[in-house]
């Protein structure tokens, strides 16, 4: 599909000169409206379904999609729309909340590593190990619950975490897992609007959590942490996409094009039938036809 340009526009491969303020949450490119984008979104979704089938049949590559965002940026909706129609057998979604006691008995990559996608599968992380340089950085008191030996908590802790994440992602890439990371970039103004809708509209009440309003007080700290994270963990193999998130329809369009782009880059195809397999198929067919 000819969507690579859109995917490329929001891609960060090198964090060197990255500044979050260069990205506008309201951006919708040359797309005017949801209706204008609908046809392309549907094409992308159909393309994803087709490519996932091949990914599964080929059973070599895996695709890991990581979603990070402030509350109400639309992670859940983006995942739901972009993966609609995809065979659930080849796709797993994991949501990472505050770590449990057993999880805290291990290093910070342990719980996500256990849930990485198998070959042939698409894995989606709704939040991820990146929380370790986001919420934990904004609220360093969380570190105390992580049971780390005191002498290992030095001033280079965040640098070390970035380094470990980069190494981990390089390792996964070299093992055949393609990683694409999305930061859904919502504005503070739009978040307020969405929180108010959660308070005012009965069918959205369930989504409201008082804690979300509390975290809003740390907005600037979070933006700085996101900026640092993207600066330090963008790479050619595991790029970040800073996806404008004030218009949900545009977020979904961009995420969908990135997914198609990633799958297309793998030159996926159904496994070839060799001579031996051909013979086996022919023999099976003969047997099936000859019997009642
Ligand atoms: P939604 O609100 O749409 O249901 P969510 O992803 O915001 O989805 P919540 O249960 O509201 O889910 O929040 C999960 C919380 O867990 C977030 O505040 C997040 O920062 C926190 N969290 C995730 N990973 C970690 C971690 N490693 N350490 C500390 N907190 C974490
Ligand atoms: Mg939440």
167-177 pLDDT tens trace: 999 999 999 99
Residue 234 has pLDDT above 80, yes or no: yes
DSSP symbol at 272: P
Q: How many domains does the chain have?
A: 1
Pocket probe mutation, ligand 1, options 73, 80, 98, 245, max atoms within 8 Å of Cβ: 98
95-122 pLDDT tens trace: 999 999 999 999 999 999 999 999 999 9
- pLDDT range class, residue 71, cuts 50, 70, 90: very high
Which structural domain, as residue segments, surrounds residue 96? 4-290
241-262 pLDDT tens trace: 999 999 999 999 999 999 999 9
Ligand 2 center to residue 72 CA distance, Å? 7
- Nearest residue to 265 (alpha-carbon basis) of 178, 153, 200: 178
- Specify the pLDDT at position 141: 93
- Nearest residue to 260 (alpha-carbon basis) of 77, 28, 86: 86
- Residue 178 belongs to a domain with what CATH number? 3.40.50.300
- pLDDT range class, residue 2, cuts 50, 70, 90: low
More confident residue, 111 or 267: 111
148-167 pLDDT tens trace: 999 999 999 999 999 999 99
- The reply to whether ligand 1 has any atom less than 6 angstroms from the CB of 76 is yes
Edge to edge, the sheet with strand 62-69 lists 11-12, 240-244, 177-185, 62-69, 122-126, 91-95
């Amino acid at each position: 599909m000819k969507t690579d340009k859109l995917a490329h526009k929001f891609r960060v491969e090198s964090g060197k000169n990255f500044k979050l303020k260069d990205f506008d949450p309201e951006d919708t490119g040359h797309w005017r409206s949801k209706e204008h984008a609908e046809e392309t979104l549907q094409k992308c979704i159909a393309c994803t379904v087709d490519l996932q089938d091949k990914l599964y049949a080929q059973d070599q590559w895996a695709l890991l999609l990581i979603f990070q965002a402030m509350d109400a940026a639309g992670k859940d909706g983006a995942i739901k729309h972009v993966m609609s129609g995809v065979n659930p057998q080849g796709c797993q979604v994991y949501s990472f909340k505050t770590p449990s006691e057993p999880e805290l008995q291990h290093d910070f990559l342990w719980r996500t590593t256990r849930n990485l996608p198998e070959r042939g599968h698409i894995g989606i992380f709704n939040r991820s190990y990146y929380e370790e340089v986001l919420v934990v950085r904004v609220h360093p008191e969380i570190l105390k619950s992580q049971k780390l030996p005191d002498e290992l908590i030095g001033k280079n802790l965040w640098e070390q975490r970035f380094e470990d994440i980069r190494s981990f992602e390089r390792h996964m890439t070299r093992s055949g897992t393609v990683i694409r990371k999305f930061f859904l970039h919502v504005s503070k103004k739009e978040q307020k609007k969405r929180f108010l809708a959660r308070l005012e509209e009965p069918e959205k009440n369930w989504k409201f959590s008082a804690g979300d309003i509390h975290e809003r007080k740390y907005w600037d700290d979070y933006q700085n942490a996101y900026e640092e994270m993207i600066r330090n963990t963008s790479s050619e193999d595991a790029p970040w996409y800073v996806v404008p998130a004030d218009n949900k329809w545009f977020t979904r369009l961009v995420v969908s094009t990135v997914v198609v782009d990633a799958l297309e880059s793998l030159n996926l195809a159904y496994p070839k039938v060799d001579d031996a397999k051909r013979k086996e198929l022919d023999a099976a067919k003969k047997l099936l036809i000859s019997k009642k």
